[in-house]
Amino acid sequence: MIIEQNIPLADKNWFMTGGPARYWCEPHTEQDFAEALNFARQHNLDIFVLGTGANILISDAGFDGLVIRPVLTTIEVDGAAGLVTAGAGVSIPHLIDTCLAQQMIGLEEFSGIPGTVGGSVFINIHYFQFLLGQFLHHARVIDRTTGQIHDVDAAWFEFGYDHSKLFDRQYYLVNATFKVTPVDTIKASYACGRRDEIIRHRRQRYPNSNTCGSFFRNFLPEELPFEINGKKMPFVAYYLDKIGVKGALRVGNAVVSYQHANMLVTQQGATTNDVIELARTMQRMVHEQFGIVPHVECQLVGFEKNPLE
């Protein structure tokens, strides 16, 4: 396995911004992954594990450590048990397509969501009422400190909304096994149609390039000191719509999408600082009107401290 130096990251994330990685590697096996972690320990380096870069914002200064992009891309299907195992580097769209081709359904609920299995399990991706953690059966993770591989069940991940135990960054996903449902040809065809319709809906409703998706997370009930029409309104997009930023607010070459008020989009020449300043402006406007501050959902990479706290 090769450890490279000073590798650009702007072309490896959806915002298309950010500086370089001090070190970079692409492990193809569990042993490679362990060797990469050992290299980081020996050189006292911070670690960031990168998938497709669909939910991250990288500092303009880059990442002063080791960026690991797993190329663990095998998929194994156990039709009799209704289980499919995918490496951390497998893309979610490819995993869904593989399942449907084998007449196994369930994961098509996440159609149109970019990212890898590793990143998707990390953040427990969701779409409407479905959470990826609801489908996870068991997984293999690697210990950052020792490089040892552990087999864990779904409960180990302590899944929550946009959260998992992997946020502690003591362990990294190697592969995940999902529980899916074997069906007949007619039901599989229906699921394929559902996949296509979900993708069509997402493309109509959301931008599909130069964005990280939802930039701010929804509010927790305890964060809202007031009610609207007799109930608490947790959806951050509600407040962003009210302040009128959709398709209108811009800082430098970063703009709020005309399709969705909680999605920021970069244009040619944008910097990460443009995105940060745009997000700060949105936070300030929501606070001035409602007295609450949106919290970032996008993963911030390479910053010495959170610039949006």
- Structure token pair of residue 307: 């610039």
Same domain, 107 and 185: yes
Closest CA to 17 of 266, 262, 208: 266
pLDDT at 161: 87
- Is 153 domain-assigned? yes
Q: Residue 1's pLDDT is what?
A: 82
Mean pLDDT of 202-207: 93
Whether pLDDT at 101 is above 90: yes
pLDDT digits (tens, 9 = 90+) for 174-195: 999 999 999 999 999 999 999 9
Residue 213 within a domain: no
Contact of 46 with 64, CB cutoff 8 Å = yes
What's the mean pLDDT in 279-302? 97
The pLDDT assigned to 148 comes to: 97
Q: What is the mean pLDDT of residues 266-274?
A: 98
Residue 230 in any domain: the answer is yes
Instruction: Note whether 201 and 264 are same-domain residues.
Output: no
- What's the average model confidence in pLDDT over 64-76? 98
pLDDT of 81: 96
The answer to whether residue 57 sits within a structural domain is yes
Q: What amino acid is encoded at 77 in this protein? A: V
pLDDT tens-digit series, residues 236-250: 999 999 999 999 999
Over range 7-36, report the average pLDDT.
98
CB 16 within 8 A of CB 56: no
Q: What percent of the chain has pLDDT over 70?
A: 100
Residue 45 falls within a domain, yes or no?
yes
The two three-digit tokens of residue 280, written as one number: 């700060």
Residues 178 and 148 in one domain: yes
CA–CA distance, 48 with 63 (Å, rounded to integer)? 8
| Averaged pLDDT of the chain | 97
**DSSP H helical ranges for 151-293:** 185-205, 236-242, 272-290
Distance CA 283, CA 277 (A): 10
The confidence score (pLDDT) of residue 189 equals: 98
26 shares its domain with 127: no
What average pLDDT does the segment 195-224 reach? 95
Where do we find the tokens 């070459």? 253
Residue-range definition of the domain harbouring residue 16: 4-68
Per-residue model confidence (pLDDT) at position 25: 98
Going by C-beta distance under 8 Å and a sequence separation of 6 or more, which residues neighbour residue 148? 34, 142
What gap in Å lies between CA 104 and CA 92, rounded to an integer?
15
How many angstroms separate the CA atoms of 268 and 82, rounded? 45
In the chain, the number of structural domains is 3
- Of 179, 205, 231, which residue sits at a domain end? 205
In the structure, what pLDDT confidence band is assigned to residue 199 with cuts at 50, 70 and 90? very high
pTM for this predicted structure? 0.95
